Structure 1
């Protein structure tokens, strides 16, 4: 068995441009995000896609729909299946705020989260562990349901990074600092069975960008300060 997973992040939103925490809140694709999704759809047009899954949020559903409209003989828009386990991580009371606003209002909480976002969660939010607890079973279900098929899965930045860490055996405590996921990027994973995956393509945006994006502000103090030891 070889199941190929096209794992894509949704297109850009206005909160993406403003670099705000936008996990568990409703936010629609921007004009740029819709264009990015159509470019990804055009890229996948010649590929055989047998099924499409996405999280229940409008930004992922619209991304999946725009891709599906360009898949030729692939599954149509009506065939898109939503799975709650694929939704984005919840940042609780941080939602909608910039990093600087969170640091100013909840300094101790933010410092603990920067140290270990995998096991720590802000008030009302989720840890990375909690995200994997709901997302990994969904991914396993998709792979076992579609042996020897090609499946498009549209999800979110943190959720995808955490899934990749788990599947590849990477320390998930560094998922925010060391793995990027650009809007409407494409990752390709081949599964020989439900738990053994090989990463074939990572964070690729060549369908709409001439080169990888520059690593600027990514809601990560560690990156913005040039790496090295984390600071409280």
Structure 2
């Protein structure tokens, strides 16, 4: 199927302050975050994207706009779509609180060791977060493939826990293991939903040429022995 580039938003003021921003309004990229978003947009400029799908929260919209602005203009420009299914987890009563204080809560240990059982007071569960985000990504992937073909590449701009949950699903990992996945600000992870299974091509990349994605082989049967890989040096 099509290739999805999972892009985390750049660094925010809340990240620097150690505050769980959640869905709070007005959380924007700081100067470093804007530079990170610009650098990621530059990396993605080598790949013609058919669409950029973003969380509705401002930090993701800022990052998504940076990506779109570096793409082709005119008829070839990617469409920009807002998708609530990949918005940040609803952390409920935890939203807006310092992480150092949250780390003292009994629920913190559950979030770290058994995320599938974690339900945020006044908010949603991590299991519900994963279900809606995976559904949204797979739905857009199938729809964009049907419109643009199996070689289509698109970007989903979202949040750390959202991307970790989507990657965990693609890897066939239980949600309880998703904290083993790292997703840094403005990083790019690459997933293909093939006919037999999802294929996780890359995770948490923060640098490097992505032009090889233009000509990369589509997901299909796994090459026994590892295969020859891309002909492009990267």
Q: Contact 1:161–1:175 at 8 Å: present in 2 too?
A: yes
- Report what 2:164 is aligned to: 161
Matched, 1:25 2:28: no
Residues 1-232 of structure 1: pairs in structure 2 closer than 5 A:
2-26=1-25, 27-73=27-73, 74-75=76-77, 79-104=79-104, 107-147=105-145, 148=150, 149-176=152-179, 178-193=180-195, 196-206=197-207
Taking the aligned partners of 1:112 and 1:145, their CA distance within structure 2 comes to 36
Unaligned runs of 5+ in 2: 209-234
- Alpha-carbon shift at residue 140 of structure 1 (Å): 1.7
Taking the aligned partners of 1:170 and 1:109, their CA distance within structure 2 comes to 22
Q: Contact 2:170–2:200 at 8 Å: present in 1 too?
A: no
Unaligned runs of 5+ in 1: 208-232
**Structure 1 residues 138 and 100, CA gap change in structure 2 (3 angstroms):** same
Taking the aligned partners of 1:32 and 1:145, their CA distance within structure 2 comes to 34
Q: Contact 1:52–1:75 at 8 Å: present in 2 too?
A: no
- Alpha-carbon shift at residue 152 of structure 1 (Å): 0.9
Taking the aligned partners of 1:110 and 1:203, their CA distance within structure 2 comes to 24
Q: CA RMSD of the aligned region, Å?
A: 1.7
Cα offsets for 1:7-33 (capped at 9, x unmatched)? 100111011112321222221111111
Taking the aligned partners of 1:103 and 1:132, their CA distance within structure 2 comes to 22
**Structure 1 residues 15 and 150, CA gap change in structure 2 (3 angstroms):** same
TM-score (norm 1): 0.80
The number of residue pairs the alignment matches comes to: 200
